[in-house]
Amino acid sequence: MADPVALIALALDAAFGWPERLYRRIGHPVGAIAAIIGSIEKALNRPAWPDATRRIAGVATLAITLAVTGGIAWGATWLLTTYLGGYAWIGIGLLAAPGLAQRSLNDHVAPIAAALGKGDVQGARIAVGKIVGRDTDRLDSAGIARAGIESLAESFCDGIVAPLFWLLIGGLPGLWIYKAINTADSLIGHREPRWRAFGWASARIDDLANWIPARISGGLLCLAGPGGWRVMRRDARKHASPNAGWPEAAMAGVLDLRLAGPVSYDGVTQLKPWIGSGRPAATAADIARALQVYRRACLLLWIVTGALLWVR
């Protein structure tokens, strides 16, 4: 069941994504997950509580979110299987497609390259600010390009490879439980005082859920262009995340760039180590090349998924 579902989900996402008109009208399923997390966090993340209590509250928040999300996905699968029988995979594929982000990621990164190519630095800042959490108001063109490429590489894992991996492992509930974990990590899995204890469980579970997909992502990016293997093996563990460094280092090697390095969040500069040993200044042309690598890696992912279907 999971294999044809995965293929139709990939096809629907690549062809249509999540249309802007639909987003404006009803939002996105991830937004609903975020609303659940946000409402529970407001009730349970109380600064007056000791860290141990807040950690337990964070575990409860994640558990409730996963139960609701997984329960809805399981119920939808049961209904489709019961009433559509052998055609249920089509409906399940329709419900799985919004959990992938092939088209969305491409459509968010391409405008950064377009703006930089026209010399519109402010427009590029606005475009990259939609996909990164770092401060963008003072980024120069090289910093903007680097941020866009890093986000593209990292999001290849958590926006495409990881949800597809968990779809193949656990069907529709597996995909949407993963999306709930990843959303929780994005919202509360931070190290700032407000989140450190409360978001601990979300951050750790997200690390675990992405461990295998991150390494698959890095491997696919290396296969999509030469030069990635050596840099990925050498630099992947330089990243603060146990997972994000794999696709990022692979992309740095393929593009012959240096990525990461010092970055500012909320006005505070963090001296992150450099990943890669290539050119220090990324350009709009490098973003375009990164998109080409990304598309080839997506195609390879399709081939791997098709091969799994054939084997099974």
The whole-angstrom separation of Cα 288 and Cα 286 is 5
The whole-angstrom separation of Cα 68 and Cα 42 is 18
pLDDT (0 to 100) of residue 1: 44
Does residue 275 sit in helix, strand or coil? strand
Contact 177, 229 (CB under 8 A): no
pLDDT tens, residue by residue, 122-131? 999 999 999 9
pLDDT (0 to 100) of residue 261: 84
End-to-end distance of the chain based on CA atoms, in angstroms? 10
* Residue, of 43 and 312, whose pLDDT is higher: 43
pLDDT (0 to 100) of residue 96: 97
- 275 DSSP β-pair partners: 259
pLDDT tens, residue by residue, 193-221? 899 999 999 999 999 999 999 999 999 99
Give the pair of three-digit tokens for residue 210. Answer: 């992405």
Banded model confidence at residue 3, pLDDT cuts 50, 70, 90: low
Give the mean pLDDT of the chain: 94
The whole-angstrom separation of Cα 150 and Cα 244 is 9
Evaluated on CA atoms 57, 63, 67, 68, the torsion sign reads positive
